[in-house]
Chains A and B, each alone.
Chain A
């Protein structure tokens, strides 16, 4: 197959379907379909090709990788750690807007190439959830809460008058089983209307719909881990909720993952866990 735009001498040895690292297959051995890169193509409802689904991540032992992280977490935080396995409620899509040869992207592990949720995404969502739910969307107000500052860290302009690093540690969340990839579609009908800066084009039905495919993960369990140092696990209070920092963190993590969602398109039901 000569539709991957990688060096010729490479293609003499291997084609797209033989590549075992999904990130490499998806991003580097991308299929060039005449005028653009596509991982999925349909014609009048019939699938022409689908380079994403049914990829079974050969020779990756998800169980072992998860165990390695959770054991490392337990060694770093021997007394206080929390390992929770949660399954995606519907579908998850992460890193949709990252740079890619396609119109959309997906967040993949830099070495193993499977979809995962990096620690920063999890921390960001939990922190944002707390601000949304308990501080009425007001970040400045959150910085006036000592507990909030200790949990998530804060800048100098806060009640602590000092920059702090958060006490809660959020680890990368790996899938605990072979992730099931699913191609999904968003289909904006009025694209000229959306992208019209002059405000003259109406959202009319005579525009052609413009299907944009993106990759999601469904029906897959992930392993979430948080930890905190025993010496930093003080008593705190946010809103009316009192408790040790660790218990608050645990509560907020579960709330955020089940009620706010992680990744892209959470407003339309993606990224929720149960």
Chain B
């Protein structure tokens, strides 16, 4: 059973395509969506895969951060004692990745494979939730764009965060269709009475206060200037009809024109989308104490060490979803910090 849960969020820097395969609709390659709400999501398996890859990249770039104790020869517990320091650190890090994310022998060092020879069937000590939508960017007639959200999304966010912070509580106001609530002194209001998103006008009330939510985000000040709480139905319409659709073509090299049959549509979450997810940790799933590597220490709980290791090594920027080679899916990840009450950058 999971012992620790920690919330994280990401903001997309470039468009993000976490695909759900082919579709017969208008869009050939749609994004993943929740079945019951039709809101965009990122499947936990996509997220876990991308994060694992980011950890493995860290290893390649030799920019790994260890827990404090690694220097005290504790890695010798897992049989790498006759190897020089640099290689041993690498091995130990890679070994830890297996413990945290599960065993994957592709491109794995022989020495690590040997450690798992007898038993490579074990579960990773980390678990991930789906990434859920929190703020979705929509073009605004004033102030370039707004971050829309809705009471359902906010309430769900509060419920989800209770898994991490028991005393997290907030009353979310309700909003009628065609109405919206914003902060005072925002960037998107027209005469302090309305907000125009795409071609639609919403009557505005500037009495929003969701500080307990926003203060945990680095972008707190920007969020306050752009957040718009819409009715659930209005929100649903925007996240369904105003995602980014890119038409991809291929140019025939011989004729220089668009190649026959090579035209398709792809759906993307636009840049500036903000989603959140939870990460859970458990004690290491290994029978023998010595197989637990750096996570076997006196005094500290394994699940705490697992989470500490994860947070320390989680890259600030990573790539998620499809079409990496054309610069898509670049995201900035951060912890949703309970104590970050000052916010700001």
Contact = CB atoms under 8 A, between A and B. Distances in A.
A10 B140 contact: no
Given A18-B142, A72-B13, A111-B145, A170 B201 contact: no
Interface string B191-202: 101101011110
A248 interface: no
Contact of B324 (A9, A59, A110, A169): A169
A10 B196 contact: yes
Nearest to A266: B256
B137 A111 contact: yes
A14 B196 contact: yes
Interface stretch (A116-124, A211-219, A234-242): A116-124
Interface stretch (A47-55, A74-82, A250-258): A74-82
Nearest to A79: B61
A157 interface: no
Interface stretch (A20-28, A36-44, A86-94, A176-184): A20-28
Given A171-B327, A229-B57, 13 more contacts: A10-B199, A69-B330, A75-B316, A75-B317, A78-B61, A78-B63, A111-B145, A111-B272, A112-B145, A118-B326, A119-B14, A120-B248, A169-B326
B143 A59 contact: yes
Contacts of B19: none
A156 interface: no
A59 B139 CA distance: 14
Interface string B301-325: 0000000000000011111000111
Contacts, number: 140
Contacts of A78: 61, 63
Given A18-B142, A112-B144, A118-B326, A24 B15 contact: no
A6 to B, nearest CB: 4
24 contacts: A13-B190, A13-B191, A20-B142, A21-B140, A29-B141, A59-B143, A59-B144, A71-B317, A76-B318, A109-B271, A110-B15, A110-B271, A111-B139, A111-B144, A111-B270, A111-B271, A119-B328, A120-B323, A128-B253, A137-B253, A138-B253, A172-B327, A225-B327, A231-B60
A112 B140 CA distance: 9
B246 interface: yes
Given A111-B272, A230-B60, A23 B196 contact: no
A14 B142 contact: yes
Contacts of B143: 20, 59
A6 B330 CA distance: 34
Contacts of B144: 20-21, 59-60, 111-113
B236 interface: no
B326 A120 contact: yes
A84 B60 CA distance: 26
A18 B244 CA distance: 24
B108 interface: no
B199 A29 contact: yes
Give the one of B141, B256, B315, B328 with max A CB within 10 A.
B141
A110 B191 contact: no
A170 B325 contact: yes
A166 interface: yes
A165 interface: yes
A229 B247 CA distance: 28
A110 B141 contact: no
Contacts of B57: 229
A10 B254 CA distance: 49
A211 B65 CA distance: 62
B272 to A, nearest CB: 5
A108 B328 CA distance: 16
Given A6-B199, A75-B315, A169-B327, A14 B190 contact: yes
Contacts of A71: 317
B251 interface: yes
Contacts of B139: 21, 23-24, 110-111, 113
A19 B200 contact: no
A101 interface: no
Contacts of A23: 139
Nearest to B144: A21
B216 interface: no
A7 interface: yes
A6 B196 CA distance: 11
A247 B70 CA distance: 38
B332 interface: yes
A109 B327 CA distance: 14
A124 B324 CA distance: 14
Contacts of A9: 201
Give the one of A119, A138, A166 with max B CB within 10 A.
A119
A229 B272 CA distance: 25
B190 A137 contact: no
A24 B141 contact: yes
Contacts of A12: 201
Contacts of A166: 325
A60 B254 CA distance: 41
Given A20-B141, A111-B272, A230-B61, A169 B325 contact: yes
Interface in A114-158: 118-120, 122-124, 128, 131-132, 137-139, 152-153
